[in-house]
Amino acid sequence: MADLAAAAARLTRAVDRLETAMVDQRGRGAETRGRMAGELASAQAEFAQLTQRTEGLGDRLDGAIDLIKTALEA
């Protein structure tokens, strides 16, 4: 009977360790999600800024091309 009680105690300790590990893992998952959300927001902001610059540059290039065409036609 003592062996059964010892086995039950070991099982209880093992389950406790598993539950603790699960809680720790969930905490790290939330931390990772928070970090990734911040990185995503930063990347989206950078993308928006680059898109704006690209559009402005495209307009300037179109204007320069038109000027060159006009100069060549004259």
16 sits in which H/E element: helix 2-73
Which has more confidence, 24 or 63?
63
Q: What is the pLDDT of residue 7?
A: 86
The pLDDT tens digits for 15-33 are 989 998 888 887 777 778 8
Q: What is the pLDDT of residue 32?
A: 82
Q: What is the pLDDT of residue 21?
A: 86
Cα-based distances in Å from 15 to 6, 20, 29, 31, 55: 14, 9, 21, 24, 59
